Structure 1
Amino acid sequence: MDKVPMTVQGHKALSAEFEHRTSNERRRIIDAIAEARAHGDLSENAEYSAAKEQQSLNEGRIKELETLLALADIIDVTKLSGDKVKFGATVTYIDEDTEEEKTYQVVGDPEADASAGRISISSPIARAMIGKEEGDSFEVAAPGGSRSYEIVKIRYI
C-alpha cells in the first residue's frame, strides 16, 4: 500500500481518536452489552442489538485508524517553504467571478475538513493549485461549469 501523507497535527488527531476509541469507547460499549444481556432474552432486546452495532462500528473505525497510522507519512509543514503550492501550503485565493476570498490548507485525505479550512490534496481544487505561485490563475471544473480562481497568498505555517 502507498504511504498516506498527513501533517503532524493530523497525525496527532488520528492518534488521539485511536486512543479514545480503544481505551474509552471499547469499555463503554462492553459495559452496555453486559447491561443489555442482563435484561434477558437477546432475540428481542433492542438495547443489546444497538450496543452490538456500536461495537461493530467502533471496531471498524479502530481498524481503519490502525491502517492510516501505520501508513502515515508525517510531514512537518513548519519545515516547508517555497513560493509554489504543495502539500501543507495554506493558500488564499479569490474567485475571479464573485471576488470571494477563501483560505485553505492542503492536507492529506484523512484529515481533510473543508469547514475547518483543510482540503484534501486529492480534491479537484487542490490538484488544480499544486505547482502554482502567487498571482497565478487556475481553473476547476465544477458541476455548474468551470470556475476560475487567482492565488493571492501562499504560506507554510
Structure 2
Amino acid sequence: MKSNLITRGGHDLLAAELKHLWHEQRPEITQKVNWAASLGDRSENADYQYNKQLLRKIDRRVRYLGKRLEELRIVDYSPEQAGKVYFGAWADIENEAGEQRTLRIVGVDEIYDHHPQHVSIDSPMARALLGKQVDDEAEVLTPSGKKRWYINAIRYEQPENAPNWRQ
C-alpha cells in the first residue's frame, strides 16, 4: 500500500506541475490538435495523431495529480523531531565498509526520476532509520541479508541541490 505522506516542498512541486499542465501545456497542445484537425484527413495526419496522444497523456496526469493531491497529507517539520530521524529528514549514514550515503526520507510521490538520495517512507531502509539518533545503528534487511548502517548526522533543512520539478 502506498503511503499518503508528503513534505510541503513535495506537495508544492506536484501542485505546480498540475497548474503548469492545466494552464499552460494542455491549452497549447489543444490548440495544436485543433490546427491539425483543420487540415482534413485525420487518419494519416501525424501531427494530429501525435498531439492527440500527448493530450491524452496530459489528461491522465492531470486526473492523477488532482486525485492524488486530495489524498496526500503534508508532514511539516516539528521541533520535537530534532535529533531523530523522522519523515523529511536528511540522514548521513555509513556502513561497516566505510561507504557513506546521504538519504532523505520522503513520500513515494517525491521520488523524482529515481533520485538516488530519496528513499520512500515505505522502504526497508527508511523503516530501519525511523526514530534513530546520531551514532545509532540501523539494521536493514536486504535480499542479500542484513546490512548495518550507522547514523552520522541528521538534519531537516533543504539542501541547495535538491531536485526541482522540471517541465
Structure 1 residue ranges, 4+ long, deviating more than 3 angstroms after superposition: 141-146
Measure how far apart 1:148 and its partner are.
2.2
Deviation at 1:28, TM superposition (A): 1.1
Q: How many residues align?
A: 156
Q: Tell whether 2:88 aligns with 1:88.
A: yes
Q: Distance in 1 between matches of 2:146 and 2:47?
A: 50
Change (3 A) 1:37 1:92: same
* Secondary structure class of the residue paired with 1:85: coil
Please list every run of 5 or more consecutive structure 1 residues that lacks an aligned counterpart in the other structure: none
Indicate the residue corresponding to 2:165 in structure 1.
none
SS at match of 1:83: coil
For 2:76 and 2:139, how far apart are their aligned partners in 1?
Answer: 29
SS of the aligned residue for 2:81 comes to coil
Unaligned runs of 5+ residues in structure 2 are 158-167
Match status 1:8 vs 2:12: no
Query: Which letter maps to 1:100?
Result: E
* TM-score (norm: length of structure 2): 0.82
1:25 equivalent in structure 2: 25
Partner Cα distance (2:143, 2:21) in 1 = 38
TM-score w.r.t. the length of structure 1 is 0.87
1:105 aligned residue: 104
How far, CA to CA, are the matches of 1:80 and 1:38 in structure 2?
61
Show CA shifts across 1:22-74 (max 9, x none). 00111111011012112221112222111111111111111111112111211
**Aligned pairs (5 A) from 1:127-142:** 127-142=127-142
CA contact (8 A) 1:3 1:71 kept: no
Whether 2:86 is the aligned partner of 1:61: answer no
Q: Which residue of 1 aligns with 2:162?
A: none
Cα deviation, residue 80, structure 1:
5.0
Q: Which residue of 2 aligns with 1:43?
A: 43
**Equivalent pairs: percent with the same residue?**
34
Aligned residue identity for 1:104:
L
